[in-house]
Chain A
Amino acid sequence: MKNDRIFRWFCFIWGAVFFWLYIQTYVIPRAYELFR
């Protein structure tokens, strides 16, 4: 399964989506608080 090209891209897209959401919901509000 790990050698499956589609699986590799799925893993990346899954990770990227949640990382982006994390930046939006968690990281940015704190950075804003820090540099306010």
Chain B
Amino acid sequence: MSSFVELVFVLPIWVIFAAALLQTGRLLFSLAKYPFADEMEEGCFSFGLGAALLATIIWALGLLSAIGPWSVGTLTAVLLGSWLATLRSFGTWFTSFRRHLKALFNFQNSFEVFLAWAAALSLLVTLTAIASPQLGRDALAYHFYCPKEFIQKGAIYPIPYSVNAFQPLLIQMLYLQGLLFNSEVFAKLYNLGFLLGIAGLMASACRIFEPRGRGLAAGLLLLTATGFIAQTPYAYTDIALSFYLFLSFFTMWRYFREPKMPFLIASALFTGIALATKLLAVPFAAALFLLLAWRAIREKGLGGFRLLLLFAFIALLPCAGWYLRSYLATGNPIFPYFNAWFTGHEWVSDIRDQTGIGRSAAALVRAPFLFFLNPERFGGGDSQVGILALILAPLIVTTRLKKEDRTRLLFLVASQFLFWFTLVQHFRFLFPLVPVLYLLCGLALEDLFVHRDRSWRALKALVIAAILTQTLFIFYYNGKLSRYLAYPSKADYLSATERSYAMQTWINSHLDSSAAVLLENEPSQYYLDRPSARLDILIGLDPRLGTMSGEERLAQIKTRGFTHAMLREARGSGEASSILQNTLTRSGARLLHEENFIYGGENSHTRLYELSHE
């Protein structure tokens, strides 16, 4: 319940701060005289630019070892102050934005009213879930863990034995701001901002492809896309990535329609921000770059290279620092991926991940269907696109589009799908395509609902049933998170639902501050307030550890300064699953504490050993 109270207080503050970021972005765009089509576009673009600018400044402060409540607090105050100073200009924009919204929400049929209700309910349950104390595995392993470590040190530094600390972490800089103000809710609300940003741009994006299109349906439909909405309450970065890539896709298409420089520059800038958000932006950015190259070279010949160079140069501005930092520290700009290629030292990474259905020709044909029917095979039932896109597939394929648009979209979708299929088959990694897919769904539905014909009724009923199921699943997944409302405190909720929370808080209260803990079979380090590292990463960084005998390995671990080991095993996997267990027992390491965890079908058992130092 206490988290919900936090939401009630933090939400208005976050909204005001988001307005300040938006205003900062607006001022920058007005300096460049960017030709916005409408107020919605101006709002979404400006919020995106403002947030990226804030994150970049926090990153720069971090590199100067100047992260602290004072520096980030002053930065926040300056942004709020400049918003107050330009309140009149903001007010003018806001008045026309409200007028624009009113015109957009002028419902034309009962289907749009139904969609608006579905979207509103989905947003409501998502907002409640955003206040839930953080559980997501990756969030605890690095999206929140890295900023927390940076705050403790007051600097962006290479966290020992952490591979993620070298990756581009632009959005984590925004999380850092929230965590610094002691509010996880504030940090996670950025996700909601990015989600609404994509939904808001749908109407404008629809009009690029169909000038008579309203686009309201596409925007509202996106708010019922199960996977997207189920990820919003977690401190992950896939939604932010999809937002920035959608912005660069959108502006690139604007440029294809009307080859004006501001569109190209904006597209390059947003591509760069996406590249600073997550490594996964690379394939999408590469596809957009190839589309641009194809057009530029065909139309302008060798002169087209100048455009491409300009695009690449601007795209590198926001992200080059991150890749350079990784290169200087590890010799690999995209550490830990393709490490053997850059440094000759192999790193067992996600690329060997076995999630998915294999890479045979039959799998290639089955994968697009199984996304919808059996999403567990691709890394979780909740990270799915929703059934609507599959139901509408024949309509999407036959939607009226210009020939060149059809070719370009086909290239974009096929290249992303093939990249995903060959490398890592986690559905989450296809998220950047979801807004494009929902845009196409929206266009297909505009077509469908234009026909008032009786024979389309059966299909319309099916579409409504599909949207209802998607919305119900948002209640299913985000409703599960909302169980925190039944617990008196955050700690009670976490002890009951997060498998290592009880052990980690025990360590925080019982071990002295010089203790360093090695974790086996547990990537979550966020709730632990002692220096810690993961055994799998230790072995990844030094493969010799993997081939040593138990005793030698233990000696190596001790020489690296670890004083304790926390071993977690899932019930049923047996003792053999632990690399350290037998050695620890034989070497006489003292068992300090044990915790059992049973929740929602997950049983796990955690032991804490003190490594003897005689």
- Listed in ascending order, the chain A residues whose CB lies under 8 Å from chain B are 1-2, 5, 7-8, 10-12, 14-16, 18-19, 21-23, 25-27, 30, 34
CB of B476 within 8 A of CB of A19, answer: no
Whole-angstrom distance from the CB of A36 to the nearest CB of chain B? 11
Q: List 18 A-B contacts (CB under 8 A).
A: A7-B394, A12-B458, A14-B391, A14-B393, A15-B391, A15-B392, A15-B462, A15-B466, A18-B372, A18-B387, A18-B391, A19-B465, A21-B373, A22-B373, A26-B373, A26-B381, A30-B476, A34-B476
CB of B374 within 8 A of CB of A19, answer: no
For A27, what are the chain B residues with a Cβ–Cβ distance below 8 Å? Answer: 469
Decide yes or no whether B398 CB sits under 8 A from chain A.
Answer: yes
For A34, what are the chain B residues with a Cβ–Cβ distance below 8 Å? Answer: 476
> Within the assembled complex, what's the spacing in Å between the Cα atoms of A6 and B3?
55
Q: Output the nearest chain A residue to B476 by Cβ-Cβ distance.
A: A30
CB of B398 within 8 A of CB of A18, answer: no
Interface of B, secondary structure class, is: helix
CB of A11 within 8 A of CB of B476, answer: no
> Within the assembled complex, what's the spacing in Å between the Cα atoms of A29 and B393?
25
Decide yes or no whether B375 CB sits under 8 A from chain A.
Answer: yes
Whole-angstrom distance from the CB of B393 to the nearest CB of chain A? 7
For B394, what are the chain A residues with a Cβ–Cβ distance below 8 Å? Answer: 7, 10-11, 14
Whole-angstrom distance from the CB of B540 to the nearest CB of chain A? 35
> Within the assembled complex, what's the spacing in Å between the Cα atoms of A13 and B372?
17
CB of B387 within 8 A of CB of A8, answer: no
Beyond known contacts A19-B387, A25-B373: 18 more, CB 8 A cutoff: A1-B398, A7-B394, A10-B394, A11-B459, A15-B391, A15-B392, A15-B463, A18-B373, A18-B390, A21-B373, A22-B372, A22-B469, A26-B373, A26-B374, A26-B381, A30-B381, A30-B473, A34-B476
> Within the assembled complex, what's the spacing in Å between the Cα atoms of A26 and B227?
14
> Within the assembled complex, what's the spacing in Å between the Cα atoms of A21 and B387?
10
- Listed in ascending order, the chain B residues whose CB lies under 8 Å from chain A are 369, 372-375, 381, 387, 390-395, 398, 447, 451, 455-456, 458-459, 462-463, 465-466, 469, 473, 476
Question: A2 with B398: in contact, given A15-B392, A26-B374 (CB under 8 Å)?
Answer: yes
> Within the assembled complex, what's the spacing in Å between the Cα atoms of A15 and B388?
9
> Within the assembled complex, what's the spacing in Å between the Cα atoms of A15 and B456?
12
Whole-angstrom distance from the CB of A20 to the nearest CB of chain B? 10
> Within the assembled complex, what's the spacing in Å between the Cα atoms of A19 and B465?
9
For A22, what are the chain B residues with a Cβ–Cβ distance below 8 Å? Answer: 372-373, 387, 390, 469
> Within the assembled complex, what's the spacing in Å between the Cα atoms of A12 and B372?
17
For B465, what are the chain A residues with a Cβ–Cβ distance below 8 Å? Answer: 19
Q: Output the nearest chain A residue to B458 by Cβ-Cβ distance.
A: A12
Question: A19 with B466: in contact, given A25-B373, A26-B381 (CB under 8 Å)?
Answer: yes
Question: A16 with B373: in contact, given A1-B398, A26-B381, A30-B381 (CB under 8 Å)?
Answer: no
Q: Output the nearest chain B residue to A17 by Cβ-Cβ distance.
A: B391
Q: Output the nearest chain A residue to B466 by Cβ-Cβ distance.
A: A19
Whole-angstrom distance from the CB of A29 to the nearest CB of chain B? 9
Whole-angstrom distance from the CB of A31 to the nearest CB of chain B? 9
Whole-angstrom distance from the CB of B591 to the nearest CB of chain A? 36
For B391, what are the chain A residues with a Cβ–Cβ distance below 8 Å? Answer: 14-15, 18-19
For B375, what are the chain A residues with a Cβ–Cβ distance below 8 Å? Answer: 26
Determine which residue in A16, A22, A30 has the highest number of CB atoms from chain B within 10 A of its CB, and name it.
Answer: A22
> Within the assembled complex, what's the spacing in Å between the Cα atoms of A26 and B473?
10
CB of B451 within 8 A of CB of A19, answer: no
> Within the assembled complex, what's the spacing in Å between the Cα atoms of A3 and B473?
34
CB of A2 within 8 A of CB of B387, answer: no
For A2, what are the chain B residues with a Cβ–Cβ distance below 8 Å? Answer: 398, 447, 451
For B373, what are the chain A residues with a Cβ–Cβ distance below 8 Å? Answer: 18, 21-22, 25-26
For B369, what are the chain A residues with a Cβ–Cβ distance below 8 Å? Answer: 18
Whole-angstrom distance from the CB of A3 to the nearest CB of chain B? 8
For B463, what are the chain A residues with a Cβ–Cβ distance below 8 Å? Answer: 15
Question: A19 with B462: in contact, given A1-B398, A26-B374 (CB under 8 Å)?
Answer: yes
> Within the assembled complex, what's the spacing in Å between the Cα atoms of A1 and B444?
13
For A10, what are the chain B residues with a Cβ–Cβ distance below 8 Å? Answer: 394
Whole-angstrom distance from the CB of B62 to the nearest CB of chain A? 42
For B455, what are the chain A residues with a Cβ–Cβ distance below 8 Å? Answer: 5, 8
Whole-angstrom distance from the CB of A1 to the nearest CB of chain B? 6
> Within the assembled complex, what's the spacing in Å between the Cα atoms of A7 and B451?
14
Determine which residue in A7, A15, A25, A26 has the highest number of CB atoms from chain B within 10 A of its CB, and name it.
Answer: A15
> Within the assembled complex, what's the spacing in Å between the Cα atoms of A7 and B459?
12
> Within the assembled complex, what's the spacing in Å between the Cα atoms of A11 and B476?
29
Whole-angstrom distance from the CB of B511 to the nearest CB of chain A? 39
> Within the assembled complex, what's the spacing in Å between the Cα atoms of A25 and B390?
15
